[in-house]
Amino acid sequence: MAATQADLSAALVLTPVPPADWLVVLPVALPLLAGAVLTMLRRSVRLQAALAVPVLALVVLLDALLLAHVHGNGPVTMVMGRWLPPFGIAFTADLAGVLFALAAAVVALAGSVHALADIGDGERRYGFYPFLLLLVAGVTGAFLTGDVFNLYVWFEVLLISSFGLIVLGSEARQIDGAIRYAFLNLVATTLFLVATGYLYGLFGTLNMADIAVKAAERRADLPTMTLAALYLLAFGMKAAAFPVHFWLPASYHTPRVTVSALFAGLLTKVGVYALLRTLVMLFPVEREELSFVIALAGAATMLVGALGALGQSDIRRLLGYTVVSGIGVMLSGLALGSPGGVGGAIFYALHSMVVMTALYMAAGLAGRLSGTFDLNRLGGLHARSAFFSGLSLVLVFAVSGLPPFSGFWPKVMVTKAALDIGAWWLAAAILASGFLTTIAFARLFLLAWWRPAEGDLPAVEMPAGALLPLALLAVLALWFGLFPDALLSAVQSAAQGLADPSAYVRSVFPEVN
């Protein structure tokens, strides 16, 4: 450092950082560090889970503390390397981002516990837990970053770790699925990068708060519509929205079932979050203009997903289509854009993270207990274990959107928001897809659980460790169905925080307002 006395306060953060701000960075840095340490310790299979599970529990705790902090004090920002935004990369946690991050951490923790019973030593030696931790770092980073290019980097971190997870085991069908997954996701992230290049070319900045301010000022003379459309396509592909959803049902059933569960809970929701962040916060006017296209895509996604689920005999593929169907509801909420719509989309995303993960775990257990994933041959699971059957029934109701489970409230919010602006066809599509999903899952439950087994079930022990996370997630689904008040008000203020980012901007640029 040269000894000149230049005034650095214009470029650098010179005040000490309050310890609470570290909550923004630690949920990302901790899994990253732990993932790196576990990669070094790849040989010692025992240590892997013993280290990964507590670290993920700690990440859940940190995210919960961050949620409490953000709920009380508004968005929190920390810049990297003390450079002031927009020069330094900012990490900004607002309510929407933290809600997603907390749900992701809970899902990952459940997945890491489920893996104790499902993922064998071979896969652990290959690096299941390091990849899981890096995936969590990527996902959390994507939820908490306040910089568009940094969002791209976290997308890549989570994508590369998901590549590692999807080929875990190296069976021929996994390679087949991984090829579809990898190529199409690569195209999606490249589109995202193209859009980001244009964004930088237009605004000369990549900081989200800065863009939100500049877009509001200079919308009239910049081709922001192109940007919004590109982001819609890129993140729509990530989120598996119709008509770019085909990679998901082609690949999600191929990896280990714990990996499928984690993917269903974590990956597409990052796409949905990025859609909400860009289209609601950065380009609200453009979103308004695109809303009919988004609504059409949403309705088509819901119906195609639900119909696809009806036509599958492999229960894991059925679940893949159900993930797609849920994305449709979130897109509808995004298309509506009202606090009810966006809040409903956030609520549905959180619900879907928990419930789809749990359903994949249940499907994995069902497959393990009866030795097949084929609906034509499954049966007798209720007689096998009434507790497992009860948990599965909770999840079946929750995913169908029936009260009193967590899927009910977001659907009510989005449907009501649609009816409020007279979009009756969108409301009808939501209800119709809910109806079709109910049929698909009622049939699944009747056939696989209720129907007596044709022959004797294979004598497989019921793994208690695999039931524990399933029970935890099912309790969450029931809890937020019975007592939705806290979450309802949280998602509504999160939606308002996205629609009116002034608090977000103030947290990044405290001196402006």
Partner 1 sequence: MSTLILRTVAPFLTALMLLFSVFVLLRGHNEPGGGFIGGLIAASAFAVHGIANGVAAVRRALRFHPMAVSAFGLVLACLAGLLSVVFAVPFMTGLWIEPTVLGVTVPLSSVMLFDTGVYLVVVGAITSVALALEERDGD
Partner 2 sequence: MELLFVLLVAVFFAAAVYLMLSKALVRMLLGTVLLANAVNLLLFASGRVLRAVPPIIPAGRDVPAALTANPLPQALILTAIVISFSFFAFLLVLVYRAWQDLGTDVANEMRIAEPEDEPAPPAGY
Q: Which of residues 114-133 bind partner 1 (CB under 8 A)?
A: 130
Residues in the chain: 513
Note whether 164 binds partner 1 by CB under 8 A: no
Which DSSP letter does residue 173 get? Answer: H
Q: If phi over 0 gives left and psi between -120 and 50 gives alpha, with beta otherwise, what is residue 457?
A: beta
Closest C-alpha among 357, 374, 384, 340 to residue 493: 340
- Of the residues 44, 73, 313, 489, which one makes contact with partner 2 according to CB under 8 A: 313
Q: Which of residues 467-496 bind partner 1 (CB under 8 A)?
A: none
Note whether 37 binds partner 1 by CB under 8 A: yes
- CB 133, min distance to partner 1, A: 11
Note whether 200 binds partner 2 by CB under 8 A: yes
Which DSSP letter does residue 462 get? Answer: -
Note whether 218 binds partner 2 by CB under 8 A: no
Measured CA to CA, the distance from residue 467 to residue 114 in angstroms comes to: 8
Task: List C-alpha distances in Å: 296 to 172, 237, 241, 292.
Answer: 37, 15, 11, 6
Measured CA to CA, the distance from residue 452 to residue 380 in angstroms comes to: 4
Measured CA to CA, the distance from residue 219 to residue 223 in angstroms comes to: 8
Considering only the stretches 47-55, 76-84, 92-100, 251-259, report the one whose residues sit in contact with partner 2 under the rule CB under 8 A. 251-259
Q: If phi over 0 gives left and psi between -120 and 50 gives alpha, with beta otherwise, what is residue 169?
A: left
Measured CA to CA, the distance from residue 96 to residue 116 in angstroms comes to: 31
Q: Contact letters (x/-) for partner 1, 4-33, by CB under 8 A?
A: ---------x--xx-x-xx--x---x--xx
- CB 150, min distance to partner 1, A: 12
- Residue 202: beta bridge partners? none
Note whether 45 binds partner 1 by CB under 8 A: no
- Taking CB within 5 to 8 Å according to partner kind, which of partner 1, partner 2, none is near residue 167? partner 2
Note whether 479 binds partner 2 by CB under 8 A: no
Give 82 or 218: the residue with its C-beta nearer to partner 1: 82
Amino acid at 496: Q
Note whether 239 binds partner 2 by CB under 8 A: no
- CB 201, min distance to partner 2, A: 3
Buried b (16+ CB within 10 A) or exposed e, 422-451: ebeebbebbeebbebbbebbeebbebbbeb
Measured CA to CA, the distance from residue 402 to residue 63 in angstroms comes to: 29
Give 170 or 489: the residue with its C-beta nearer to partner 2: 170
- Of the residues 3, 10, 40, 172, which one makes contact with partner 1 according to CB under 8 A: 40
Note whether 149 binds partner 1 by CB under 8 A: no
Helix residue ranges per DSSP H, 245-312:
247-251, 257-275, 284-310
Give 17 or 175: the residue with its C-beta nearer to partner 2: 175
Q: Which of residues 62-81 bind partner 1 (CB under 8 A)?
A: 78-81
Buried b (16+ CB within 10 A) or exposed e, 479-513: ebbeebeebbebbbbbbbbbeebebbbbbbbeeee
DSSP codes, 470-508: HHHHHHHHHHHHH--HHHHHHHHHHHHHHHSTHHHHHHH
- CB 207, min distance to partner 1, A: 15
- By CB under 8 A, how many residues form the interface with partner 1? 26
Give 182's contacts (C-beta < 8 A, 6+ positions apart).
163, 166
Find tokens 């359903």 and name the residue: 359
- Of the residues 44, 73, 376, 489, which one makes contact with partner 2 according to CB under 8 A: 376
- By CB under 8 A, how many residues form the interface with partner 2? 47
Note whether 82 binds partner 1 by CB under 8 A: yes
Considering only the stretches 2-10, 271-279, 300-308, 461-469, report the one whose residues sit in contact with partner 2 under the rule CB under 8 A. 2-10
Considering only the stretches 68-76, 304-312, 410-418, 494-502, report the one whose residues sit in contact with partner 2 under the rule CB under 8 A. 304-312
Give 187 or 432: the residue with its C-beta nearer to partner 2: 187
Give 132 or 309: the residue with its C-beta nearer to partner 2: 309
Measured CA to CA, the distance from residue 155 to residue 94 in angstroms comes to: 19
Note whether 42 binds partner 1 by CB under 8 A: yes
- Taking CB within 5 to 8 Å according to partner kind, which of partner 1, partner 2, none is near residue 153? partner 2
Residues near partner 2 (CB under 8 A) are 2, 4, 6, 149, 153, 156, 160, 163, 167, 170, 172-180, 182-183, 186-187, 190, 193-194, 197-198, 200-201, 250-251, 253-254, 310-314, 317, 374-376, 443, 446-447, 451
Residues near partner 1 (CB under 8 A) are 1, 13, 16-17, 19, 21-22, 25, 29, 32-33, 35-40, 42, 78-82, 88, 91, 130
